[in-house]
Amino acid sequence: MIALYIIIAACLVAINGAMLGSVLLLRRMSMMCDAIVHAILPGLVIAYLITSSKGSLAMVFGAISSGVVAATLVEFTHQKFPVTREAAIGITFTTLFSIGIILLALFAGQVKLDQDCVLFGELAYVPLDLWITEEGLNLGPYSIWSLGFLTIGVVAYVSVGFRSLVLCAFDSEFAKLQGINVQMWHYSLMLMLSLAAVTSFQAVGAIMVMGFFILPPATAFLFVSSVRSLMLLSCSIGILCVISGYFVAQYLNVSIAGCIITLNGLGFFAALASRFYLKLNLVQLK
């Protein structure tokens, strides 16, 4: 059951990352995930200092607030000043993440958040974080419940807003002419991204969250011609890497999260090489 819990938790993160990451990829904003994942750290620390609890709604609110602040700063810096979006993302996430690290160092005695766990996470601990009711009923790992509810929310959000999200991604001006509130959908996406990041943070860490938001969609994008296919193939790639990565990690006795993301990265380069090889063969045939 321990292995099953770990695989289920990682698969849920992979599905959330694949669906939201596909939208970010189409909007050419994949690195916004990087900014928000790092930017939520100061929000987590401040919320923990106030509530002294890692399971409170204040932690979620603090992280989401930090994510929204990061998204707003990126857009403001990019639109109001001669700064590219990539530079604005880099400036924002490094600044906010550094503030979070400083807060962790200053209040190390009060904040029970380990810097290594924040960065890398530890999937092996997922089965140990149990949700036990006041009556003593063991409902299983808390992370699986929280990630499960998040997955339902993400699937519902993408399903309901699919047309608007796709139109905003491909042509925001045309979307405005269709009566779509582009700004509202942009910030709702940032809210969902922040919620997904904080929910996944404790179980898998920043590196794995970023990996699932960027690598499976980027790999799937090489082979698909529709947005629905992009999301489905991204989810499949993420789940495949989770299952294979877990067993490879057990065999080599290495980090599970690190092994899963490594396989994601190797899969992307293998897909890139195969696409290049096929294109080269087609050129030679002509």
- pLDDT tens track for 49-71: 777 665 567 777 887 888 888 88
| Residue 31 maps to a domain | yes
* Predicted local distance difference test score (pLDDT) of residue 282: 63
| Residue 259 maps to a domain | no
| Residue 51 maps to a domain | yes
* Predicted local distance difference test score (pLDDT) of residue 284: 61
| Residue 53 maps to a domain | yes
The residue range of the domain holding 111 is: 2-216
**Ranges of the chain whose pLDDT falls below 50:** none
| Residue 28 maps to a domain | yes
* Predicted local distance difference test score (pLDDT) of residue 237: 95
Q: How many domains does the chain have?
A: 1
* Predicted local distance difference test score (pLDDT) of residue 117: 56
Three-state SS string over the chain comes to CHHHHHHHHHHHHHHHHHHHHHHHHHCCCHHHHHHHHHHHHHHHHHHHHHHCCCCCHHHHHHHHHHHHHHHHHHHHHHHHCCCCHHHHHHHHHHHHHHHHHHHHHHCCCCCCCCHHHHHHCCHHHHHHCEEECCCCCEEEEHHHHHHHHHHHHHHHHHHHCHHHHHHHHHCHHHHHHCCCCHHHHHHHHHHHHHHHHHHHHHHHHHHHHHHHHHHHHHHHHCCCCCHHHHHHHHHHHHHHHHHHHHHHHHHHCCCHHHHHHHHHHHHHHHHHHHHHHHHHHHHHHC
pTM of the shown model: 0.86
* Predicted local distance difference test score (pLDDT) of residue 110: 59
| Residue 262 maps to a domain | no
| Residue 187 maps to a domain | yes
Conformation bin of residue 121: beta by default, left when phi > 0, alpha when psi is -120 to 50: left
* Predicted local distance difference test score (pLDDT) of residue 210: 85
| Residue 269 maps to a domain | no
